[in-house]
Structure 1
């Protein structure tokens, strides 16, 4: 696989809405590797106001992200959404697919007049999110069986 989005044909890349169940193979491979498949589900997966997007490269699902309505007490904004379970399969990492997925989701939420996007980011992903305009708030904390995280956020107004 080439190592840059510039070398890939844009016509081979699509981002589209998918079902929560469609995200499970990518979530399992990227975020919950070695854990039971049941660990890949999110309580809000099947709610009508939860949005799942898949990035397809040559019709193969390469990355996923989920956005759920969730108010954090850290922010006063109304209409908050939370990014959950974003991941790109290892063989497609480094091709800017994560950036494309995140940008698509942010633009979608802006079109829905969402004010704030926030999430808990793994330490290994901090720089990715910072490069995409998100800031940390608070101190590092640990999510059991997952590892150290920071809460990150971005105003969508």
Structure 2
């Protein structure tokens, strides 16, 4: 996600409250995502796939797993802070953009959400 930053850069104060998932190829971690559930809402954060493995479907598999896990936990709405240039990727999973946008670290983001069935 931030290959040029130290590990502490991606740590969150509430990391222990989330569930952290990874997809491995053999013993190599290639994709990660964290799910934070509060009430009937879930936010996923820190979703990233190794640059050498992008475009091979690993992130998509992990995101499908995450949505299934959220459904098992009775999450009614799931959302994320998506990079605006990646919004099309999330739309493939039924997520929709909201009117909430912001810039952080020189990157434009939009909050995307999906209402779970």
* TM-score normalised by L of structure 2: 0.91
Larger radius of gyration: 1
Equivalent of 2:4 in 34, 47, 52: 34
Q: Aligned residue pairs: how many?
A: 117
Q: For 1:33-52, what aligned pairs fall within 5 Å after superposition?
A: 33-47=3-17, 50-52=18-20
* Structure 2 equivalent of residue 66 of structure 1: 34
Task: Determine the C-alpha separation between the residues in 2 that align with 1:86 and 1:149.
Answer: 14
Deviations 1:23-67 (A, max 9, x none): xxxxxxxx22323332110222112xx111100112211000001
Displacement after TM superposition at 1:139 (Å): 4.5
* Structure 1 equivalent of residue 47 of structure 2: 86
Q: For 1:1-150, what aligned pairs fall within 5 Å after superposition?
A: 31-47=1-17, 50-70=18-38, 79-143=40-104, 145-150=105-110
Cα RMSD for the two superposed structures: 1.5
Structure 1 segments of 4+ aligned residues over 4 angstroms from their partners: none
Deviations 1:87-138 (A, max 9, x none): 0001110111111000000001101111110011012321110111110000
Query: What secondary structure sits across from 2:64 in the alignment?
Result: helix
- From the superposition, tell whether residues 117 and 89 of structure 1 become closer, same or farther in structure 2 (CA, over 3 Å): same
